[in-house]
Amino acid sequence: MEIDPDRLAARERYRLLIGCIVPRPIALVSTISPEGRTNLAPFSFFNGVGSDPLTVLFCPANKPDGSEKDTLRNAKPVSEGGTGQFVVNASVESYAREIAASAEELSYGESEFELTGLATAPSLRIRPPRLARAPWAFECETLQVLRTNPGHALGGNIVLGRVVHIHIDDALVDSRLVVDPAKLAAVGRLGGISYALTRQRYDMPPGRDALTRPPPDWPTP
């Protein structure tokens, strides 16, 4: 099948986007409104950008009425009416239900921390709290918001942030700061309402050395 994306409905494009680009890491983003109300929501259009400086991005799309999601309202720069700050909290198995529940569309100012019962812990460098249970959390200052279709339904927004502080559970890392993926037990998002676990893995060296290896002996626990 060959598809011209411009001939699809936006919803169909969305279904293909989230079904093809898998698995996706999930940023559980905590923010605070300028009035001081906390907010928590998951975003799987999320990734690291670079390590010098340490930068991340996530993408809160516009709502069906073209308005901005609460997280974007809060995280956008002060010059645009937000606080210019957000925390990316880890998404892991032990609170998988709460991650999905925090996608509930509450009215602006109502907190998904209260809905899910997840506790906050204070951040060190910024105002939005982090998720107390998160095995890692990155405190971020918003560098820029890039809008691909401002004011339109499902238009994309890229929030670029600089990580100004890192919280990480000592038990997750060795002395070189290599993270143990089995201990982290991260979850990722697939299409529809499906998720992926990260407990099954295989190791492969990068570059031509990979071709000398036997085919992956999956799954490696």
Ligand X SMILES: Cc1cc2nc3c(=O)[nH]c(=O)nc-3n(C[C@H](O)[C@H](O)[C@H](O)COP(=O)(O)O)c2cc1C
Under rule CB under 6 A, residue 43 binds ligand X: yes
The arrangement of strands across the sheet holding 54-58 comes to 38-43, 27-32, 85-89, 136-147, 157-168, 54-58, 46-51
Q: How far is the CB of 21 from ligand X (least distance, A)?
A: 11
Report in angstroms how near the CB of residue 26 gets to ligand X at its nearest: 5
Kind and range of the H or E run holding 45: none
**Helix or strand (DSSP H, E) at 182:** helix 181-184
State which of residues 41, 118, 134, 163 lies at the interface with ligand X (CB under 6 A). 41
Can you read off the two tokens belonging to residue 75?
Answer: 């995280």
Give the shortest CB-135-to-ligand X separation in angstroms: 18
Between 136 and 195, CB nearer to ligand X = 195
Residue 109 vs 205, nearer CB to ligand X = 109
Out of 76, 130, 167, 189, the residue judged to bind ligand X by CB under 6 A:
189
DSSP-derived letter for residue 14 is H
Residue ranges in 78-117 that form contacts with ligand X under rule CB under 6 A: 100, 103, 105
By CB under 6 A, residue 70 contacts ligand X: yes
**Lookup: tokens for 208:** 């031509």
Choose the stretch contacting ligand X; rule: CB under 6 A; options: 34-42, 143-151, 166-174, 207-215. Answer: 34-42
Distance CA 76, CA 161 (A): 10
Nearest distance from residue 161's CB to ligand X, in Å? 14
Is position 71 an interface residue for ligand X (rule: CB under 6 A)? yes
- Write out the DSSP string of 83-136: -SEEEEEP-BGGGHHHHHHTT--PPTT--HHHHHTPPEE--SSSSSPEETT-SE
Residue 26 is a binding residue for ligand X (CB under 6 A): yes
Interior/surface letters 1-32, b for 16+ CB within 10 angstroms, e for the rest: eeeeeeeeeeeeeeeeebeeeebbbbbbbbbb
Tokens matching residue 192: 């529809």
Stretch that binds ligand X, among 48-56, 65-73, 115-123, 129-137 (CB under 6 A): 65-73
State the minimum distance, in angstroms, from the CB of residue 85 to ligand X.
14
Distance CA 203, CA 213 (A): 10
Q: Judged by CB under 6 A, which of 60, 82, 135, 161 binds ligand X?
A: 60
List interacting residues with ligand X (CB under 6 A): 26, 39, 41-45, 59-61, 69-71, 100, 103, 105, 189
